């Protein structure tokens, strides 16, 4: 059954399960789980930070970072569509007492520099104190250009602000950059991270680990982050079982992300053909440009209910929701989607017919 809903649905590979089974364990709350420590040290070195912290989710690593940069009543500048603002339960406000200052996200996934600058508050008791600028890369599968990231970081530094990267799919962004530049994916990931004070990276999306994310920063920042993780209930005991999966993912599943991107390109081409030639979908299906492993398509309301039902009946699983009077479908390729799944999905699309 082709499951394009998200790269969060991946299952651990046999090799990853073997690594988990063999992992030496300790008590991570005491700081003596060797597998957790190895993962944290490896990730920090890999991405150019002093230290790292393993936590259960990316929602938590983002919140820990926000609470580290901002105190009660402080403000963080975020994108209107960022996960830290829209998709993480309002945790920055509810648990961190941090005021989000959302900025409109542009069509290419960026925030306009002028909009960021305009959102920074003056030092006045009428306003929350602006402390932090957050970027997300990738965002909706789009890659933020590294020169743009450098400009945002320069603006933040000039205004005395810290920067945080929600890099849940950092390695997808790095994979796209590596393909465009003929460079190494790990080097591209470090180049992105070099512009941020802290970064959050998910191990459980395209990298295929079952659980876990990393927060990276300075040693002092991560020391405080460990305390915040405890407050939030994220401290785990023999967490090395999970950390070993993350370590395996960083070592063996990063370069293969290029396969996911190639499959998505193949899927997009097939859907684009249907958008032009299919008797029922031509003029009613819009396929948006895709850069990594996430693709959005919009289906006209006249056929959307029947089309989504048709896909589901054929075992093709996607996420869907209303968008501007149409139905937007999200297709995500990942570790557990292969060429046969893409072929099956496209065959199902081509066979679409109204009952």
Q: What is the pLDDT of residues 241-295, one digit of tens each?
A: 999 999 999 999 999 999 999 999 999 999 999 999 999 999 999 999 999 999 9
> Do 199 and 58 fall within a single domain?
yes
> Do 16 and 153 fall within a single domain?
yes
CATH of the domain at 70: 3.40.640.10
The answer as to whether 38 is a domain residue is yes
> Do 219 and 276 fall within a single domain?
no
> Do 150 and 283 fall within a single domain?
no
Task: Report pLDDT for 187.
Answer: 98
Task: Report pLDDT for 121.
Answer: 96
The answer as to whether 5 is a domain residue is no
> Do 265 and 133 fall within a single domain?
no
Q: Position of tokens 């950059």?
A: 177
Confidence of residue 324 (pLDDT cuts 50, 70, 90): confident
Domain boundary pick from 202, 221, 251: 251
Task: Report pLDDT for 354.
Answer: 75
> Do 339 and 229 fall within a single domain?
no
Domain boundary pick from 203, 233, 251: 251
CATH of the domain at 346: 3.90.1150.10
Task: Report pLDDT for 342.
Answer: 98
In the predicted model, what is the mean pLDDT of the chain?
97
Domain that residue 293 falls in = 257-350
The answer as to whether 184 is a domain residue is yes
> Do 192 and 273 fall within a single domain?
no
> Do 125 and 48 fall within a single domain?
yes
> Do 94 and 142 fall within a single domain?
yes
Is pLDDT of 58 > 90? yes
What number is the average pLDDT over the span 229-248? Answer: 97
Task: Report pLDDT for 355.
Answer: 57
What is the spatial order of strands in the sheet that 294-299 belongs to? 285-287, 294-299, 326-332, 319-323
What spatial distance separates the first Cα and last Cα of the chain, rounded to whole Å? 23
Q: What is the pTM of this model?
A: 0.96
> Do 329 and 314 fall within a single domain?
yes
Q: Would you say 275 and 67 are in contact if contact means Cβ atoms under 8 Å apart? A: no
Is pLDDT of 113 > 90? yes
Q: How far apart are CA 250 and CA 286, in angstroms?
A: 35
> Do 213 and 76 fall within a single domain?
yes
How many of the other CB atoms lie within 10 Å of CB of 30? 9
How many of the other CB atoms lie within 10 Å of CB of 280? 17
Domain boundary pick from 251, 276, 302: 251
Q: What would the pLDDT profile of 66-96 be if each residue is shown by its tens digit?
A: 999 999 999 999 999 999 999 999 999 999 9
- Integer angstrom CA distances of residue 242 from 44, 92, 308: 17, 26, 36
Confidence of residue 144 (pLDDT cuts 50, 70, 90): very high
> Do 229 and 262 fall within a single domain?
no
Q: 116-154 burial string, b = 16+ CB within 10 Å, else e? A: beebbeeeeeeebebbbbbbbbbbbbbbbbbebbeebbe
The answer as to whether 4 is a domain residue is no
Confidence of residue 240 (pLDDT cuts 50, 70, 90): very high
What number is the average pLDDT over the span 123-141? Answer: 96
Beta strands in the chain (DSSP E): 51-55, 74-79, 99-103, 129-136, 162-167, 198-202, 213-217, 285-287, 294-299, 319-323, 326-332
Q: What would the pLDDT profile of 161-195 be if each residue is shown by its tens digit?
A: 999 999 999 999 999 999 999 999 999 999 999 99
Task: Report pLDDT for 1.
Answer: 83
The answer as to whether 2 is a domain residue is no
Q: Would you say 61 and 55 are in contact if contact means Cβ atoms under 8 Å apart? A: yes
Burial class (CB in 10 A: 0-12, 13-18, 19+), 182: exposed
Is pLDDT of 61 > 80? yes
The answer as to whether 35 is a domain residue is yes
The answer as to whether 320 is a domain residue is yes
Number of domain units in the chain: 2
The answer as to whether 26 is a domain residue is yes
Percentage, residues of the chain above pLDDT 90: 98
Is pLDDT of 153 > 90? yes
């Amino acid at each position: 059954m082709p499951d394009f809903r998200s790269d969060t649905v991946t299952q651990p590979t046999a090799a990853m399960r073997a690594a988990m089974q063999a992992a030496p364990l300790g008590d991570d709350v005491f700081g003596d789980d060797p597998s957790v420590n190895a993962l944290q040290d490896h990730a920090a070195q890999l991405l150019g930070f002093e230290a790292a912290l393993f936590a259960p989710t990316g929602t938590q690593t983002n919140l820990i970072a926000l609470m580290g940069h901002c105190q009660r009543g402080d403000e963080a500048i975020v994108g209107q569509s960022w996960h830290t603002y829209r998709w993480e339960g309002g945790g920055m406000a509810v648990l961190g007492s941090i005021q989000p200052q959302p900025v409109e996200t542009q069509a290419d996934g960026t925030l306009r520099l002028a909009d960021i600058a305009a959102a920074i508050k003056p030092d006045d008791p009428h306003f929350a104190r602006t402390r932090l600028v957050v970027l997300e890369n990738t965002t909706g599968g789009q890659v933020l250009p590294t020169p743009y990231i450098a400009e945002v970081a320069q603006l933040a530094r000039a205004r005395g602000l810290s920067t945080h990267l929600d890099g849940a799919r950092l390695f997808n962004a790095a994979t796209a950059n590596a393909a465009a530049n003929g460079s190494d994916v790990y080097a591209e990931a470090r180049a992105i991270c070099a512009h941020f004070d802290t970064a959050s990276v998910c191990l459980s999306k395209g990298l295929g680990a079952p659980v876990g994310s990393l927060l990276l920063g300075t040693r002092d920042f991560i020391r405080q982050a460990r305390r915040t993780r405890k407050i939030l209930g994220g401290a785990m005991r023999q967490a090395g079982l999970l950390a070993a999966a993350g370590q395996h993912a960083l070592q063996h599943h990063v370069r293969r992300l290029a396969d996911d991107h190639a499959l998505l390109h193949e899927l997009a081409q097939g859907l684009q053909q249907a958008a032009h030639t299919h008797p029922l979908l031509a003029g009613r299906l819009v396929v948006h440009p895709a850069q990594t492993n996430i693709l959005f398509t919009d289906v006209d309301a006249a056929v959307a209910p029947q089309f989504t039902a048709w896909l589901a009946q054929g075992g093709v699983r996607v996420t869907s929701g209303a968008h501007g009077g149409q139905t937007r479908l999200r297709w995500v390729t990942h570790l557990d989607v292969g060429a046969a799944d893409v072929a099956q999905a496209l065959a199902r699309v081509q066979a679409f017919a109204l009952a």
